[in-house]
Amino acid sequence: MKLGLVVNEGRAAACEFAERLQNAAARHGLVVGSAADPDCDVIVAVGGDGTVLDAARQAYHARRPVLGFNLGTIGFLAEVEPKDLEPALARLADGDYRVEPRLTLCATLEDGSRQVGLNDVVVEKIESQRLVVLDVEVDGENFLTHRADGIVIATSTGSTAYAFSAGGPLVDPALDTLLFTPVAPHSLFARTLVLPPDVMIRVRVAADRPVRVSVDGFEIGEASEGDVVTITRGEHPIGFVRYDTEGFAARVTRKFGLT
């Protein structure tokens, strides 16, 4: 089995762990190379959730599963803690794991720019002192006009990220849903709207205040008055290597240190 490595090279601890991982992989008969190698079987992320998202982007196009080693703070997307390196690699070599599919979503701008993500699409203000005005349609039907700092459209996987910080619910990634959450809205309606995965969401900029559009924290462009950002389901999911039988509620308890 060949592993494609993605490392947060800005963190010394992640680089040191990556070297340990390569040495340990050799002991288990695993070959470690680049995530860009088309022959790799699993893409391995070493770092925090940002690194896992970087790996997930590559995994989406390569159609390979992702395995994350947590060298970050919470590391909600990572499956393995550093102390469990040896048993994790042993189980990988033995094929003792499962691949869990995760819903993806895609943002398309007026100029045709598009980006697929695992966590969320964020449409937010650029000018710090001014709200943006956003007309929202769901499957061609008017929903609301939001006057807010922005909106987050997240998958269930992304429910633990920006959407959660904006007041949205935590959702088990086994559920294929999209979560529409306003950010600091000036409105009586400030709740998250939970939608099925195949809806089309269209967000039109309704005032002369431009917005920034990001997917999984990566800015893909800006939109001005009259422009529309379209959010749909991604063409296919991203697979995550899973070992444990821990349920989502227990995972939330552990990752957020609620005990």
Question: Is residue 189 pLDDT above 90, yes or no?
Answer: no
Q: Which of the four pLDDT bands, split at 50, 70 and 90, describes residue 237?
A: very high
27 CB-contact burial (10 Å; exposed 0-12 / middle 13-18 / buried 19+): exposed
Q: pLDDT for 114-150, tens place per residue?
A: 999 999 999 999 988 889 999 999 999 999 999 999 9
The string of pLDDT tens digits covering residues 53-78 is 999 999 999 999 999 999 988 888 99
- Claim to verify: residue 198 and residue 241 sit in the same structural domain: no
| Nearest-angstrom CA–CA distance, 102 and 106 | 13
244 noted as active-site residue? no
Query: Which has the minimum average pLDDT: 91-105, 142-156, 171-185, 242-256?
Result: 242-256
Domain shared by 75 and 115, yes or no: no
The answer on 157 and 196 residing in a single domain is yes
Task: Say whether both 110 and 51 belong to one domain.
Answer: no
Find the CATH number of the domain harbouring 61.
3.40.50.10330
Same domain, 155 and 244: no
Q: In the structure, what pLDDT confidence band is assigned to residue 187 with cuts at 50, 70 and 90?
A: confident
Domain extent, residue 113, equals 105-233
The pLDDT assigned to 123 comes to 98
- The pTM for the full model equals 0.93
Q: What residue type is assigned to position 231 of the chain?
A: I
Strands 42-47 and 2-7: parallel
Same domain for 32 and 109, yes or no, is no
Residues 242 and 228 in one domain: no
Same domain, 87 and 192: no
Residue 84 sits in the same domain as residue 125: no
The pLDDT value given to residue 246: 80
Catalytic residue selected from 49, 54, 120, 216: 49
Asked whether residue 50 falls in the same domain as residue 160, the answer is no
- Domain identity same for 174 and 227: yes
What's the average model confidence in pLDDT over 242-246? 82
Burial class (CB within 10 angstroms; exposed 0-12, middle 13-18, buried 19+) of 38: exposed
Helix runs in the chain, H state only: 12-27, 49-62, 85-94, 162-165, 248-255
Lowest mean pLDDT among 71-85, 166-180, 201-215, 227-241: 71-85
Domain count along the chain: 2
Say if residue 111 is in the same domain as residue 173: yes
In angstroms, the CA 119 to CA 258 distance is: 23
> How would residue 251 be classed by pLDDT, with cut points 50, 70 and 90?
confident
On the question of pLDDT at 96 being above 80, the answer is yes
**Helix (H) or strand (E) run with residue 230 in it:** strand 228-233
Q: Helix %, strand %, coil % for the chain, to 5?
A: 25, 40, 40
CATH code: domain of residue 198: 2.60.200.30
